[in-house]
Structure 1
Amino acid sequence: MKDFGYKQSNSDHTLLLKHKKGKVTALIVYVDDMVVTGNDLIEKAALQHHLASEFEMKDLGALKYFLGIEVARIFLSQRKYILDILTDTGMLAIKPADMPIELYHQLGEYPDQVPTNKERYQRLVGKLIYLGHTRPDIAYAVSVVSQFMHAPSEAHMDAVN
Structure 2
Amino acid sequence: MIITGDDVEEINNLKSNLLKEFDMKDLGPLKYFLGIEVLRSRHGIFLRQRKYVLDLLAETGLLDCKSAETPMISNHGLKIVQGAKPADREKYQRLVGKLIYLAHTRPDITYVVGVVSQSCTNPKKSTWMQL
TM class by shorter-chain length?
Answer: 0.5 to 0.7
State the structure with more CA Rg.
1
1:6 counterpart residue number: none
1:83 counterpart residue number: 54
Aligned residue pairs, count: 90
1:125 counterpart residue number: 96
Which has a greater percent of strand? 1
Distance of aligned partners of 1:159 and 1:128 in 2 relative to their CA distance in 1, 3 Å threshold: farther
Q: Distance in 2 between matches of 1:158 and 1:101?
A: 15
Report how far residue 83 of structure 1 moved: 0.3
1:107 to 63, 78, 85: 78
Distance of aligned partners of 1:134 and 1:159 in 2 relative to their CA distance in 1, 3 Å threshold: farther
Q: Distance in 1 between matches of 2:59 and 2:102?
A: 15
Cα pair 1:101 1:159 within 8 Å, conserved = no
1:149 counterpart residue number: 120
The RMSD of aligned alpha carbons is 2.3
Q: Distance in 2 between matches of 1:103 and 1:96?
A: 21
Q: Distance in 2 between matches of 1:123 and 1:100?
A: 23
Q: Distance in 2 between matches of 1:118 and 1:158?
A: 15
TM-score, length basis structure 2: 0.60
Q: Flag structure 2 segments of 5+ consecutive residues without an equivalent.
A: 1-41
Task: Report runs of 4+ in structure 1 exceeding 3 Å deviation.
Answer: 100-106, 108-111
Cα pair 2:96 2:113 within 8 Å, conserved = yes
Higher relative contact order (CA 8 A, sep 6+): 2
Q: Distance in 2 between matches of 1:78 and 1:142?
A: 16
Which has a greater percent of helix? 2
Letter of the 1:155 counterpart: S
The percentage of counterpart residues that share the same residue type is 49
